[in-house]
Amino acid sequence: MNNERKRELDWVNVIFLTATPLIAVVGVIWYVLRVGFFWSDFALFAVLYMAAGMSITAGYHRYFSHQTYEAHWTVKLFYLLFGAAAVENSALSWSSDHRYHHRFVDTD
Tell me the C-alpha distance between 58 and 16, whole Å: 25
- The whole-number pLDDT of residue 2 equals 54
Please report which confidence band the pLDDT of residue 62 belongs to, taking 50, 70 and 90 as the band edges.
Answer: very high
Q: What is the pLDDT of residue 7?
A: 74
Q: Give the model's pLDDT for residue 3.
A: 55
- DSSP annotation string for 57-99: IIIIIIIIIT--S---HHHHHHHHHHHHHTTS--HHHHHHHHH
User: What does the mean pLDDT of the chain come to?
Assistant: 91
On the question of pLDDT at 72 being above 50, the answer is: yes
User: What mean pLDDT is predicted for residues 31-39?
Assistant: 96
Q: What is the mean pLDDT of residues 36-52?
A: 96
Distances (CA, A) of 107 to 4, 58, 97, 102, 103: 15, 23, 18, 9, 9
Better-scored residue on pLDDT, 82 or 88: 82
pLDDT of 102 above 90? no
d(C-alpha 62, C-alpha 15), whole Å: 28
pLDDT of 5 reads 63
- Residue 75 in this model has a pLDDT that exceeds 50: yes
